[in-house]
C-alpha cells in the first residue's frame, strides 16, 4: 500500500530521515519542514492514501486520538495554549502533497494568525437547497 514516487510514503516508512515526534504501526508524525509555528507537526499514515476520501476505516478511526495526544503533548512541552487540526483535500483546498496527512498546529498567545475565510449572508431557502444537493450524493 505504498506508492513508488511518494515522498511521504518514504518518510513515513523511515526511508528518508525526519524529525519524528511519534510513531506506531500505522503512523509516523514528523515536524513540518516549513512550520506555521514552533512544533507544527504532520501525521502521516504508513500506507498511501491520496486524501481523506481514500482513507480506510481503521486509519481514520486511529488518526484523531493520535492528533489529540500530540496536541496535548505540545501544550505540556512547548507552552502553546491551543492547537488547530488542519487537513487539506485537493489542490483547490491547499493540498500540495497527495498522501493524506493531518496538520497539528500549535497556537501561542501571539499567534500564528488564525486560518480564516470571509463569511457571507445566506437565505434559509438557499441553505436548504444546498443541503439537499449534498444529501442526495451521500
Ligand atoms: P499540504 O499543503 O496540506 O499538502 O501540506 C504539506 C505540508 O508538508 C507542508 O506544510 C510542507 O511544508 C510539508 N512538507 C513537504 N515536504 C516535507 C518534508 N520533506 N518534510 C517535512 N514536511 C514537508
Ligand atoms: Zn504516499
- What CA–CA distance (Å, rounded) separates 119 from 116? 9
- What CA–CA distance (Å, rounded) separates 61 from 54? 13
DSSP run (H or E) holding 73:
helix 57-78
Task: Average pLDDT across each block of 10 residues of the chain; the chain has 138 residues. List them in order.
Answer: 94 97 98 97 98 97 98 97 97 97 96 85 96 96
Which atom of ligand 1 lies closest to the CA of 32? Answer: 22
CB 18, CB 11: distance < 8 Å: yes
- What CA–CA distance (Å, rounded) separates 10 from 28? 11
Protein residues with CB under 6 Å of any ligand 1 atom: 7, 18, 30, 32-34, 42, 88, 94-97
The phi, psi pair for 92, rounded to 5°, reads -70, -20
Confidence (pLDDT) at 59? 97
Ligand 1 centre and the CA of 125: distance in Å?
40
Please name the residues in contact with 84: beta carbons below 8 A apart, sequence gap of 6 or more.
103, 104, 105, 107, 115
Residue nearest to atom 13 of ligand 1 (CA): 32
Confidence (pLDDT) at 114? 77
Ligand 2 centre and the CA of 123: distance in Å?
42
DSSP run (H or E) holding 31:
strand 27-31
Confidence (pLDDT) at 113? 83
Closest-approaching ligand to the CA atom of 85: 1
Confidence (pLDDT) at 20? 98
Closest-approaching ligand to the CA atom of 103: 1
Q: Which of 5, 10, 33 to mutate to test the pocket of ligand 1 (most atoms within 8 A of CB)?
A: 33
Amino acid at each position: 500500500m505504498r506508492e513508488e514516487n511518494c515522498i511521504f510514503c518514504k518518510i513515513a516508512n523511515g526511508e528518508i530521515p525526519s524529525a519524528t515526534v511519534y510513531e506506531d504501526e500505522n503512523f509516523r508524525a514528523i515536524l513540518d519542514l516549513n512550520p506555521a509555528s514552533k512544533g507544527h507537526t504532520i501525521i502521516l499514515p504508513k500506507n498511501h492514501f491520496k486524501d481523506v476520501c481514500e482513507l480506510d476505516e481503521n486509519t481514520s478511526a486511529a488518526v484523531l486520538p493520535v492528533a489529540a495526544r500530540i496536541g496535548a503533548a505540545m501544550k505540556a512541552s512547548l507552552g502553546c495554549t491551543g492547537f488547530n487540526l488542519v487537513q487539506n483535500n485537493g489542490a483547490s483546498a491547499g493540498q500540495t502533497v497527495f498522501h493524506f496527512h493531518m496538520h497539528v498546529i500549535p497556537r501561542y498567545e501571539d499567534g500564528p494568525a488564525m486560518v480564516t475565510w470571509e463569511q457571507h449572508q445566506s437565505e434559509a431557502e438557499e441553505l436548504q437547497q444546498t443541503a439537499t444537493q449534498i444529501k442526495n450524493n451521500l
